[in-house]
Amino acid sequence: MSEEISHESESPGKVVNITIDDGPDPVWTPKVLDLLRRSNVKATFCMIGPRAKEYPSLVKKVVADGHRLCDHSMDHNTAMDKRPESYQASQILDAQKLIEEAAGDGTKVRYYRAPGGAFTPYSRKVAAAHGMRPLGWQVDSRDWQRPGTARIVANVKREVADGPTILFHDAGGDRSQTLAAMEETLPWLKQQGYGFSFPKI
């Protein structure tokens, strides 16, 4: 498993990778899943360990719908790159264990995304040693700022030329703007000739 941060797609050609962070959430994750199903789009869900433990049925639903799982740490500490290696390791590996236990059926977490992109060479090495490719992004929808649906859509349209991996969120408060923006963005991407894939492992 490569320790390099994955930014590209596993599929050639004009494609994007939809990634969805901070869940699962009992209100918003089902709505995002419903939208993805109606749009016939697969995504990568970057989950917080304790949330996966709290909502195992949602983790199983994500997997059953054909999406992939990503470890997004235990506590979403965006300063974890400043913390000791032992802390980084437990944040990564404890979350991986909880997410895989919640998923069941031997499902593997394929990626690790550091909170806020706070990777270190050590955290990338730990993730790769445990079968998870470090996962970055190029397109930040900035939906977490709740700037309004139109602004989120505009961010994606402006940045999609920078690379295929797009960042959205399905937890952390009211995600109605995210949902509305995805409703608009996914058909637009299809109209522009984009296909949908997963990040390269």
Report the alpha-carbon distance of residue 105 to residue 111 in Å, rounded: 18
Domains and CATH numbers, the chain: 15-197 (3.20.20.370)
Task: Map tokens 């706070």 to a residue.
Answer: 118
Give catalytic residue positions.
Answer: 21, 169
Residue 57: the pLDDT is 98
Residue 93: the pLDDT is 98
Report the alpha-carbon distance of residue 112 to residue 94 in Å, rounded: 12
Helix-strand-coil split of the chain, %, nearest 5:
45, 20, 35
> Does the predicted model carry a pTM greater than 0.95?
yes
Q: Among 121, 90, 93, which Cα is nearest to 109's?
A: 93
Residue 15: the pLDDT is 97
Residue 163: the pLDDT is 95
Determine contact, residues 172/24, Cβ cutoff 8 Å. Answer: no
Residue 44: the pLDDT is 98
Residue 16: the pLDDT is 98
Residue 159: the pLDDT is 97
Determine contact, residues 194/5, Cβ cutoff 8 Å. Answer: no
Low-confidence ranges of the chain (pLDDT < 70): none
Residue 123: the pLDDT is 98
